[in-house]
Chain A
Amino acid sequence: MTAISSTNTNLGTSTGAEPRGAKPKKAFSRRNIIIYGTLVVAAVYYILPLYVMIVTSLKGMPEIRLGNIFAPPVQITFEPWVKAWSQACTGLNCDGLSRGFWNSVIITVPSVIISIAVASLNGYMLANWRFKGADLFFTILIVGAFIPYQVMLYPMVIILRDLGVYGTLQGLIIVHTVFGMPILTLLFRNYFTALPEELFKAARVDGAGFWNIYFRIMLPISLPIFVVAMIIQITGIWNDFLFGVVFTKPDTYPMTVQLNNIVNSVQGVKEYNVNMAATLITGLVPLIVYFVSGKLFVRGIAAGAVKG
């Protein structure tokens, strides 16, 4: 009697005769195979070049000449990284990427801070302090966001020359700040507009003025959008090549331009390992920004998602 009933139960669970609870899912269904297959292919496609770069940058030149680019290094050497940082030659000088790195830092930090500060204030004004002509201003800004940069290069050169900052780091900082303005303002304005209007009204009734509302109400609840703006600006400005080439001189070249000159210099043998190391070093900053801010970003969104 007991035996029979227990086999019955076993049968019942193994065939799922009576559906109950979560529906069992097959691990190797056709759907899963397609999904994971596609994901793996895509991942390999993106990771393989990075792998090749890292591996090559850790090899000596003799090993590279063997020709097997996928093979891991037999003898790991950091020589290429050191050389890329401090000795690699452009057509003009031989002090590596370090000069370009510091130039890029000096360009990026103020550009990011100034452009975000100004753009967030613009967005705040457009969203909450509807001044006369706000709509016109906003339209012009949107149009500005869609004008191709190339069109504005020459006029910008003339303006910078007349201001006496052409070819200097300050000049490039001004350019980055100005060109980041339309899209950032749009970003901030839309974010602030989406915040409940009554929050702003409550703060006004509480006696907070323009700056108090901005710093004590708007800013603290808008951290996610500030992080987004920072990601956009840091990576955009760090990776910029066009403005760097146009608006600076060899002394003030940002890292990307320096990298280009190292990789494309035509003296002697092509040192692939040095080139790869130089490229990786240049890409390191945006990479770190993505990793660090990615975490911040997720936390920011989660905090903002809870309705207050």
Chain B
Amino acid sequence: MNTSVSVKDLTLKFGAITVLDKLNLDIGDGEFLVLLGSSGCGKSTLLNCIAGLLEPTDGQIFIKNKNVTWEEPKDRGIGMVFQSYALYPQMTVEKNLSFGLRIAGMAKDEIDRRVARAAEILQIGPLLQRKPAALSGGQRQRVAIGRALVRDVDVFLFDEPLSNLDAKLRSELRVEIKRLHQNLKNTMIYVTHDQIEALTLADRIAIMRGGVIQQLDDPMTIYNEPKNLYVAGFIGSPAMNFFKGEITTAEGRPAFVTNGVTFMLDGYKAKGLLQPGTKAVLGLRPEHITVDGPEAGNTHQAVVEIEEPMGADNLIWLKHAGQSMSVRIGGSRRYRPGTQLRLSYDMGVASLFDAESELRI
């Protein structure tokens, strides 16, 4: 894999606050990388450093194997799309698109050609003579993408481009961005705190927390094998159920016990040794728990507390092993509160974390 963008030991401090701490990241050519994390974890800061809008305190940035750490944003071969669109309000859409090209002194017909191409790709041709104020949110964001498109760059940077849009528009544009990436095959770095966006768009997801990348993997690995407790809790909606307990042995086989309830760990793909006596946290996704399935070794009884029908799915909240947990089942299966039901688990997709280090066992 050829690297397109490479971040080496990047450190950024605002005065005494360290926002990014010795961060390393290699992004492949044509890869769609999503930076995912909660608010304030340094996603925008990292993106701004790559764009050259913020000066790093330490470290280097390479784009196309060229050290661009001291380069101006315009010389880095990047285009950027911002959350608030950041269109120039006094210019028409056409002028917005061509602004950078005009500044660079490009020939008129070449500018026209590129604007026309971007307008065609994004289907904003009829809007070219309008001012941004006369556009809807979705149209504005398209223009903002177009402004990056006309510059014919290697790397696209997106900073939460869809978070100002309503849910329906967001899913439409999400598909469009994915289509754009498939057609253009540029490298794209995309910041979001929406995990659906991350899971659907990304080739790889980097989950950030406090300026540190927690896990960098493809979406399925992140979802199925979270490296630590934070990632496990962050990805998935509704969130993973966690049980605090201890690893033991039951009937001569490894098991997990919490509040007197025993979960057999048959089928769990442990990375290391399941040492009995280790304090641990068991994570079970709501969608990986079976309700009233075939009677197998690993079953428990529980009582329904609340039911949340969501159309396609039905989310059931139960009290189990002394704590609240949720289970997701098909939308057509209804359980009234108070109903007794039987839970069974597939340990092949469960997660077990060391309670102290919070790392996956």
Contact = CB atoms under 8 A, between A and B. Distances in A.
Interface in B142-190: 147, 151
A199 interface: yes
A212 B99 CA distance: 10
Contacts, number: 68
A26 interface: no
A121 to B, nearest CB: 19
A308 B80 contact: no
A289 interface: no
A212 B101 CA distance: 13
A217 interface: yes
A249 interface: no
Interface stretch (B84-92, B204-212, B251-259, B282-290): B84-92
Contacts of A217: 88
Interface string A277-301: 0000000000000000000000000
Contact of A206 (B74, B84, B89): B74
A145 B83 CA distance: 37
Given A203-B88, A308-B90, 10 more contacts: A198-B82, A198-B83, A198-B84, A199-B86, A201-B51, A202-B147, A204-B73, A205-B73, A217-B88, A220-B90
Contact of A204 (B53, B83, B84, B131): B53
A196 B132 CA distance: 15
Interface string B54-78: 0000000000000000001110001
Given A198-B82, A202-B147, A221-B90, A208 B99 contact: yes
7 contacts: A196-B86, A199-B86, A202-B88, A203-B99, A205-B51, A205-B73, A308-B132
A189 B104 CA distance: 28
Given A212-B103, A307-B133, A206 B147 contact: yes
A207 interface: yes
A198 B164 CA distance: 14
Given A198-B83, A308-B87, A205 B53 contact: yes
B138 interface: no
B82 A201 contact: yes
B88 A201 contact: no
Contact of B88 (A205, A207, A307, A308): A308
Contacts of B74: 204-207
A222 to B, nearest CB: 10
Contacts of B87: 202, 308
B100 A207 contact: yes
A269 interface: no
A306 interface: yes
A204 B82 CA distance: 13
A50 B274 CA distance: 95
B42 interface: no
Category for how many chain A residues contact B: 10 to 19
Contacts of B52: 204
A271 B30 CA distance: 87
B219 interface: no
A238 to B, nearest CB: 31
Interface residues of B, number: 27
B226 interface: no
Contacts of A216: 99
A201 B52 CA distance: 10
B254 to A, nearest CB: 53
A202, A220, A221: most-surrounded residue (chain B CB, <10 A): A202
B131 A207 contact: no
Interface string A65-81: 00000000000000000
| Most chain B beta-carbon contacts within 10 A, residue among A198, A220, A307, A308 | A308
B84 to A, nearest CB: 5
A191 B191 CA distance: 29
A307 B131 CA distance: 11
Given A206-B147, A221-B89, A308-B133, A201 B80 contact: yes
A202 B82 contact: yes
A306 B131 CA distance: 11
B311 to A, nearest CB: 35
Nearest to A217: B88
Among A196, A198, A204, the most chain B Cβ lie within 10 Å of the Cβ of A198
Contacts of A208: 99-100, 103
A220 B132 CA distance: 15
Contacts of B79: 205
A272 to B, nearest CB: 52
Contacts of B80: 201-202, 205
A208 B72 CA distance: 10
Interface string B21-62: 000000000000000000000000000100111000000000
A225 to B, nearest CB: 14
Interface in B82-133: 82-84, 86-90, 99-100, 103-104, 131-133
Give the 6 A-B CB pairs with smallest separation, nearest first: A308-B89, A206-B100, A207-B74, A198-B86, A202-B86, A198-B82
B31 to A, nearest CB: 21
Contacts of A212: 103
Contacts of A203: 88, 99
Interface string A235-268: 0000000000000000000000000000000000
A204 B90 CA distance: 17
A212 B79 CA distance: 18
A94 B89 CA distance: 55
Contacts of B132: 308
A307 B86 CA distance: 10
Contacts of B51: 201, 205
A262 to B, nearest CB: 47
Contacts of B73: 204-205, 207
A201 B90 contact: no
